[in-house]
Amino acid sequence: MMRFALAGNPNSGKTTLFNGLTGSTAHVGNWPGVTVDKKEGTYKKCPEPIAIVDLPGIYSLSPYTPEEVISRNFILDEKPDCVINIVDATNLERNLYLSTQILEIDVPMVIALNMIDEVEKSGDLLEAKKLEEKIGVPVVEISALKGRGLDELMKRAYEASQNPRKGRTVLEGTSIVHLIGDCKIALEGQKVDNALFHAVKLVELDELEVKAHPDSARMVEEFKKTFEDDTFGCDFDAIIADARYKYITKNYSSALVKKDKSDVLTRSDKIDRVLTHKFWGIPIFLVILFALFHLTFSENLLFLGAALPEGWVALEGTVLEGVFGDGGINSPGVVLFNLLDLATSSLGGVISDAMVGAEVAEWAVGLVCDGMLGGVFAVLSFLPQILLLFLFFSILEDSGYMARVAFILDRIFRKFGLSGRAFMPMIMGFGCSVPAMVNTRTLADEKERIATIRVIPFFSCGAKLPILTAIAGGIGLTFGLPHTDLITYGMYVVGIVVAICAVLIMRSTTMKGEVPPFIMELPTYHAPQFKNLMIHLWDKAKHFVQKAFTIILASTIVIWFISHFSWSWTYLPDEQINDSILAGVGKLLQPLFTPLGFGSQIGAFGWVFVVAAITGLIAKENVIATFGTLAGCITAGFVADESLEGIDAVASMIGATEIGVPALIAFIVFNMLTIPCFAAVATAKAELGKKKFNMTLVFWVVTSYVVASMFYLVGQWWWTMFIFLAVWALLFALVILNNKGKIDLDKVNPKRLIKQFRRK
Amino acid sequence: MTPIEISVLVVGIAIVVSVVVVSLIRKAKGKSGCGCGCSGCPHASSCQSKKAETTQNQG
């Protein structure tokens, strides 16, 4: 099958074009690094099917980043039948730099002038025909977003693929053209393919080329000794880059006639003046984040509860009582949660009534109602809120705002050894840790990459949402605390703060290194595409439900079994659950969690919290599923026809164990920061290698344990706050002094200190 | 045991066994271990097996 490659700058629309051509739903992000590997699809409208390969976005074919290496190697080694070079028509000069490099390769090429609708909207005039005559390859105007010109593009690309093309260079008029010619002849003599491209790269002293062709590289070095340019000296890299841009400006840029709007700020510029403000940027981000959580979790939307007439939305006495609010208006997320919770509770009740009516044995009723339905429904109820939060984050990302967040954070944290580039994978962790960890491949500094992978799980992913919501809701229900959305929001912020602190400490001590420059193109703001959002939302919903009815269902069945059988495999009714295998394991581990508040100090059923935390290792949703499964068995006065789900399950466990608020907050913090799910652990192992992975496991356990203990201790005995503040202040003082060179923490050798201590 | 009880037991065991077996098979094939779904993920190809993922054009 023929293969066409899509190559171009980041944010030029390659993946949008790829989706349009192949019918795929590949994710379109608004920052570099969204695609770090190639992706293939099939286009079937040409005379023969064509495989379309979406390459990572690159600014040049020099091997400075993994994306550039992947794209370059693909074009040179895999020899696609045609390269479709997507050029952002609103940014012609910068995009054509890559085009001039691809032109040097012996491969058919077509230029797709994307975002042509934006050019037309801005009043500029782009003469594609003129550009085509000058550049010597087909040029097609398209709008990948609107699906305009795609068939014409593929038709021209197919025609181009039928005619082999010899590479040509735009560096003909430069002072080093003869050197390029000599290198080309030398490489042709060695039967090297794409001799012209490799010759130009050799003259640039490209490290890959120097390694591959040492003899020719020596020739270049010799020439360099006797060469001197007025402006650039003997920096051939700079000479070539300058020559390319001069050629582009002189020959290609005339195809674009811009409407004079030099005094006019673009819409994006105006928005950026506010959102990326030096002082207000971060507070605005925190407010936006709070707004998302408020719309998803609040039971007092816009804090209107006090102003409303009593019982206005409560719908007392109806089947929808409390769904829309009780004392305040529920946010859309909570309304949807309540509706789904009502549906699943009703269904659970009908099934248990039917089974009891059919005189089915108590264990079978328990297995179905608690083991299967209790666990799954406990998690399923959170689906609307997970989707809503996912939708909000997707809107922020697709609109271009998330790219600004990394930019704002870079400004501040660069002083502490952290670049904004590291925040991009972290922010992705809000969705799922797995792709976020893989995205760290875009970080050039290995130590920064390891540090980032370690803290990504601290950014609570969608799977941890049920834990936050259910525990916060349980706290609100049991202790009458209002504004449980603030607890959820607060926990997200805690995760971010702990992540940042951990990275700062690592980068200032064991993971010290240079802060790499952070160069990122800020995409223009635009309204997210509704269709793309809905497709991803549907996909997310589908996989969440699939996960609930597979992994979570299987887990809760196993949990039910081992909570209803003793070590001698005797069946135990609900009242004897404390003698079960599960309870035995939980009680064995319970003392370990005493400093965190949910250990030996809580009631007879406290082991449930320990067991829930452990089952969360399989999938984080299992924490609440475990509560859902066990709560119905444990709650005093259990009635077979009632099932407890989600928040009710947590509330009943709080009542049964008499656990306090500080311990519950510590429980949330522990689950947020501890070892993530198996999938994320496997990804971390693959990305880090065995030795660093083992240290990472220790890091996760220690951090979650210490931070959760802090929360419990401060919650129980407020004065301990001063001790912790003093310790943290000392730690940061050491870090700052180390950064300023006043002390050298690298010289502190713990083993030597321990030996000295023992001798004394 | 009544037929309903036997069915409940069999279904419960079948669910657990099938989930474990399918997970092991997917892992052996190098398929995604992430339950979050792939098409919305920018790194679907990185999670999956080294063979290129192919999708069909709907058009």
Each residue of A177-208: pLDDT tens digit? Answer: 888 888 888 888 888 888 899 888 888 878 77
Tell me how far apart the alpha carbons of residues A702 and A707 are, in angstroms, rounded to a whole number: 8
Residues A674/A700, Cβ–Cβ less than 8 Å: yes
Pick the more confident residue, A262 or A455.
Answer: A455
Does the pLDDT at position A395 exceed 90? Answer: no
Structural contact between residues A71 and A58, judged by C-beta atoms closer than 8 angstroms: yes
Cα–Cα distance, A620 to A382 (Å, whole number): 13
Give the closest of B16, B33, B35 to A543, CB-based: B35
Give contacts of A 92-111 with B, CB under 8 A. Answer: none
CA distances from A382 to A296, A337, A625, A663 (A): 11, 6, 11, 23
Chains A and B form CB pairs within 8 A to the count of: 148
Average pLDDT, chain A: 82
A725 by Cβ neighbours in 10 Å (0-12 / 13-18 / 19+) ranks as exposed
* Inter-chain CB proximity A432 and B41 less than 8 Å: yes
User: What count of residues does chain B have?
Assistant: 59
Contacts of B32 in chain A (CB under 8 A): 679
Q: Do A543 and B46 touch (CB under 8 A)?
A: no
SS3 A180: helix
CA dist A654 and A631 (Å) reads: 10
Q: Which two tokens stand for residue A319?
A: 């089947």
pLDDT, residue B50, reads 33
**Using one digit for the tens of pLDDT, what is the confidence trace for A433-481?**
877 887 787 777 788 888 889 999 998 887 888 888 889 888 888 888 7
Mean pLDDT of A64-74: 77
Q: Do A25 and B20 touch (CB under 8 A)?
A: no
Token pair for A668 = 């949330």
Nearest C-alpha in A relative to B23: A551
Q: Given the structure tokens 């947020």, which residue do they identify?
A: A672
- With contacts defined as CB-CB under 8 Å, which chain B residues touch A546? 35
- The helix (run of H) or strand (run of E) holding residue A15 is helix A14-22
If one compares A565 and A754, the residue with the highest pLDDT of the two is: A565
Q: What is the pLDDT of residue A449?
A: 85
Put simply, the chain B residues between 3 and 42 with a CB less than 8 A from any chain A CB are 4-5, 8-9, 12, 15-16, 19-20, 22-23, 32-37, 39-42
Distance from A550 to chain B by nearest Cα, in Å?
6
What is the predicted ipTM?
0.74
Asked if A670 and A708 count as a contact pair (C-beta separation under 8 A), the reply is: yes
B35–A546 C-beta distance less than 8 A: yes
Cα gap A697→A155, rounded to integer Å: 53
Q: Of A175 and A264, which is predicted with more confidence?
A: A175
**pLDDT 10s digits, B5-54:** 899 999 999 999 998 898 888 777 765 555 455 444 444 444 443 333 33
Place of tokens 């025909």: A129
CA angle A260, A264, A265 (to 5 degrees): 135
Q: A566: how many CB neighbours lie within 10 A of its CB?
A: 15
Q: Classify residue A306 by burial, with Cβ atoms within 10 Å: 0-12, 13-18, 19+.
A: exposed
Residue pair A377/A257 in contact by the 8 Å Cβ criterion: no
Under 8 Å between Cβ of A112 and A85: yes
The per-residue pLDDT for A592 is 92
Q: Residue A228: its pLDDT value, please?
A: 66
Task: Name the nearest CA neighbour of A647 among A433, A338, A364.
Answer: A338
List the 22-51 stretch of A: residues with Cβ below 8 A of B: 22-27, 29, 34-45, 51
For the stretch A125-138, pLDDT in tens is 788 888 888 888 99
Per-residue b or e along A267-280, where b marks 16 or more CB atoms closer than 10 Å to that residue's CB: ebeebbeebbeeee
Say how far apart CA A476 and CA A662 lie, in whole Å. Answer: 13
Residue A274: pLDDT over 70: yes
> How many CB atoms within 10 Å of residue A121?
10
* The pLDDT of residue B46: 44
- Per-position DSSP letters for A199-219, written without gaps between them: HHHHHTT-HHHHHH-HHHHHH
Contacts of B58 in chain A (CB under 8 A): 23
Tokens 């099958």 sit on residue: A1
pLDDT digits (tens, 9 = 90+) for A149-160: 999 999 999 999
The Cα–Cα gap between A18 and A86 comes to: 11
Interchain CB distance below 8 Å, A551 and B19: yes
Residue B55 confidence class, pLDDT cut points 50, 70, 90: very low
Helix (H) or strand (E) holding A426: helix A423-428
Angle between helices A446-455 and A484-508 (to 10 degrees): 150
Contact status, residue A651 vs residue A658, Cβ threshold 8 Å? no
- Token pair 């099917």 is found at A49
Question: Do the Cβ atoms of A435 and B47 come within 8 Å?
Answer: yes
Quote the CA–CA distance of B39 and A28 in Å, as a whole number: 11
Structure tokens at A315: 């719908």
Q: Which residue has the higher pLDDT, A313 or A357?
A: A357
Residues 620-639 of A with CB under 8 A from B: none
Q: What is the pLDDT of residues A338-361, one digit of tens each?
A: 888 888 888 888 998 898 888 888
Q: A165 near A180, Cβ under 8 Å?
A: no
- Using alpha carbons, select from A323, A349, A513, A320 the residue that is nearest to residue A416: A513
CA distance A427 to A84: 31
Find residue A50's DSSP bridge partners. A2, A43
pLDDT tens-digit map of A582-610: 999 999 999 999 999 988 888 778 899 99
Q: Which residue has the tokens 């594609």?
A: A128
Q: Do A29 and B42 touch (CB under 8 A)?
A: yes
Give the one of B12, B52, B59 whose C-beta lies nearest to A40's C-beta.
B52
Whether A626 contacts A556, CB under 8 Å? yes
Which two three-digit tokens encode residue A647? 């928040």
Predicted pLDDT of residue A627? 86
- DSSP alpha helices (H): ranges in A358-415? 362-366, 375-380, 383-399, 401-413
Residue A722's pLDDT is what?
84
Q: Which of A197-206, A229-238, A489-498, A667-676 has the lowest mean pLDDT?
A: A229-238
Do B32 and B49 contact (CB within 8 A), yes or no?
A: no
A164 CB-near residues (< 8 Å, 6+ apart): A106, A108
Count of CB atoms within 10 A of residue A760's CB?
Answer: 5
- With bands split at pLDDT 50, 70 and 90, how would you rate the model's confidence at A108? very high
Mean pLDDT in residue range A230-248: 78
Helix (H) or strand (E) holding A265: none
3-state SS, residue A114: strand
Burial bucket for residue A173 (CB in 10 Å: 0-12, 13-18, 19+): exposed
CA distance A488 to A399: 25
Q: Which of A575, A577, A602, A580 is nearest to A591 (CA)?
A: A602
Placement of tokens 């305009």 in the chain: A148
Residue identified by tokens 């929808």 is A320
Identify which of A476, A472, A478, A470 has the alpha carbon closest to the alpha carbon of residue A658: A478
Tell me what pLDDT residue B52 has. Answer: 33
CA gap A321, A379 in Å, rounded: 22
The amino acid at residue A679 is A
